Structure 1
């Protein structure tokens, strides 16, 4: 594993980058890492660079701060557009490149971890990475456990020349998953020299909180988690319409990106039912997860990682479009009897109700 050159009398400095164009996955991974780096024996100062406006809504421990880059949204067809600025996408990328480069050069990190995209969105890290490398910053590429279906992931890895980029710029590759569940090194076809600097670290987690550490309602409840929420309406509607057990509350956490029309529909349903609660955003779900009787969730990497740290029964409803990453993850875990899975094309209120009551 990586041997980071420590800076002497000052605290270590670690930077974490996530482009965050769809959902909160990159940000949540980086938050878990940041909290770990800033505490304990390392006691580092950590700077997170994120494209998610929500980055500022999360609590930050001492020693952790955030630079929010101008937002870019990714759509279901794979296209991108500025989240807020009314400028061409290339101009927004130019601004992001300047901000990221200035922040990283001023911060002078001892370690930079880049999440998923080696050169950043639109190659926005390409100018600064060689500068950091010359300054002896250790560079790590962090990858979630599953990128996509094996053939698609391998093709994307080759098309984006990730092997060459890792070979030229990065010291190591960290995979946040279990190699026995999904071997990303093999899937991507990494050559021996890159495979030798790649390590499956296991799933990132924050421990197991007590079930009474935080609860959305006083009594028993079943929890639905939509991840960021942008494509969670199908699951939310089925969950809201499912007949739950008597005296058990149904709680939906929509995520900040659920479209307004879908959110209004869920809130209207909650007004008609005393046993349905709809919440848009919870900075720390760990207590809610630990206290649930059962959980129905999408199968994003960070949602699943949080669920694996609990003993609560889980039904995963993976997204299958525009990529099948969530289905690959859910199927692999179901094969080890860790979770149950239902294909979203077969999802119905009765499916959820039947699973919850068994």
Structure 2
């Protein structure tokens, strides 16, 4: 399996590259996915060209807990919180959501005007959070010196839901008007996230599938000396059900091995975590837990297998570190994780624990964990041919900025 139809030329020696400024917009209203993807892209782009620098605009409240390469920095936008009904509130400033959005929008435009990027990469949201990017996109369009790219993960949502969302946000119009290229961070052979969107043929011709973004251990963390299964719900904000099921499995079967290392994620609520901690303490060391690990790549690299949700970054890590994995995808508020996990299971890359098909019972989880050693590794299903994303992004970025 290859990465699709992308054939970007590989640029020649990095020493010939001129100074370049890259800005990445990552709205980050929930979870870690957008920030971690942007950090991976910025790291690759600056590693390729020693004269390049990058700034990430992010709303993530935990951005400061990550390390960034020497030529990569970040600007923290005022945070917002997504409520269960899908609406948003400001996190801390005592401003209503309109005021917060206006403040964020002004900060974004000021940063762009001062930094004057050669390339702007926008993650997932063509108009930004609640349209906050539109004034900046208009300004850049009039100025004409910055190339703009819309970066999309491999799966966004089911097509009819996505089309309605983009219509409501004016995202289709913005994509047609403001973006020089669209990069899909996955292989075309897996999924087309734009299916169902009313994009013109001219705009579709600007879509390039890069392949998945390969991850590496860049900042080593300590890992257990004994075999372990890594349990990770990503950011953790919607991972309570999966963590609960894993703990129930170890509580049900005292002989269940390997032991588990559980990373709650920074967004699992404190009260919920306290309850989990009490249960972990009763498992005689068979499960150990930490709240947040910014260097989780080390834990992936050392694991015998992985039980996880189906977020984009976690899936990239499963493939990159060639780990046997059980994915327990969320289905609310989006079907994104279920679509990704079910397609990956079809291709033999992972196993999916599907509530309707398998049942979300402790015994089911016991059986899935026990079966991990007999699963095929992703590499046996061709995963290595799906991981060219960072190389393709570096090549495309260099070619696009050379057109200025």
TM, length-normalised to structure 2: 0.82
CA distances 1:215-266 after superposition (whole Å, capped 9, x unpaired): 5321000111111111111111111121365663211111100011111011
- The answer as to 2:117 corresponding to 1:109 is yes
- The answer as to 2:321 corresponding to 1:310 is yes
Higher helix share: 2
Matches of 2:302 and 2:17, distance apart in 1: 43
2:387 corresponds to: none
Which of 340, 348, 353 is the aligned partner of 2:361?
348
Q: CA RMSD in A?
A: 2.3
- The answer as to 2:278 corresponding to 1:265 is no
Q: Would the aligned equivalents of 2:257 and 2:370 in 1 still touch at CA under 8 Å? A: no
- The answer as to 2:137 corresponding to 1:129 is yes
2:291 corresponds to: 280
In the alignment of these two chains, the number of paired residues is 353
1:241 corresponds to: 248
Q: Would the aligned equivalents of 2:256 and 2:370 in 1 still touch at CA under 8 Å? A: no
1:153-164 superposed matches below 5 A:
153-164=162-173
Unpaired runs of at least 5, structure 2: 1-7, 372-404
CA distances 1:162-208 after superposition (whole Å, capped 9, x unpaired): 3321221110111111111101233434221110011111111224x
Compared CA separation, residues 296 and 3, structure 1 to 2 (3 A): closer
**What SS does the aligned partner of 2:134 have?**
coil
CA distances 1:55-107 after superposition (whole Å, capped 9, x unpaired): 11101111110100000111232111112222211111111111111111101
Matches of 1:142 and 1:296, distance apart in 2: 27
Q: Would the aligned equivalents of 2:223 and 2:302 in 1 still touch at CA under 8 Å? A: no
- The answer as to 2:43 corresponding to 1:35 is yes
**What SS does the aligned partner of 2:231 have?**
strand
Matches of 2:272 and 2:305, distance apart in 1: 23
Compared CA separation, residues 196 and 71, structure 1 to 2 (3 A): same
Q: Which has the higher contact order (CA 8 A, sep 6+)?
A: 2
TM, length-normalised to structure 1: 0.93
Question: Runs (4+) of structure 1 moved beyond 4 Å?
Answer: 1-4, 244-247
Offset at 1:10? 6.3
1:139 corresponds to: 148
**What SS does the aligned partner of 2:62 have?**
helix
Offset at 1:337? 1.0
2:159 corresponds to: 150
Q: Would the aligned equivalents of 2:28 and 2:60 in 1 still touch at CA under 8 Å? A: yes
1:183 corresponds to: 192
Offset at 1:9? 9.2
Unpaired runs of at least 5, structure 1: none
Q: Would the aligned equivalents of 1:176 and 1:203 in 2 still touch at CA under 8 Å? A: yes
- The answer as to 2:232 corresponding to 1:225 is yes
